[in-house]
Amino acid sequence: MLLGAIGLLLPIMPTVPFVILAAFCFARSNPKWEAWLLDHAHFGPHIRAWRERGAISLRGKQFAVLALCGSAVMGLLLLEMPWALAPSAIALICGSWIATRPTA
């Protein structure tokens, strides 16, 4: 959950995958916390959609790809070569994977 909270502030670090991972771990260690996550107004629908269909909401996909593109542009502007290409490569790989997931 802490990594998910950090992801709210950092564009290259995702939030929802860490929350989904937390729900997975809570299912095995603390069912009460898992139930809290599944009933959460913001995270619950995303976790249930992922568990049931491996799906990501359209808004989630759009925001993720936009954040990845922003990180890639910032990397190209602020980093020296060849490091400037790393955020672009991450954006391309992760963005492609996100785009190919079913839409919730």
Pair 62, 28: CB distance under 8 Å: no
Q: What average pLDDT does the segment 15-20 reach? A: 77
Q: What is the pLDDT of residue 12?
A: 65
- CA nearest neighbour of 9 among 55, 71, 78: 71
pLDDT tens digits for range 53-66: 999 989 888 988 88
Task: Quote the Cα angle for 18-52-10, to 5°.
Answer: 20
Q: What is the pLDDT of residue 93?
A: 93
pLDDT for res 104: 84
Tell me: pLDDT of 30 over 70. yes
- Domain residues of the chain, as ranges? 2-53, 58-100
Residues above pLDDT 90, as percent of the chain: 36
| 15 within 8 A of 8, measured Cβ to Cβ | yes
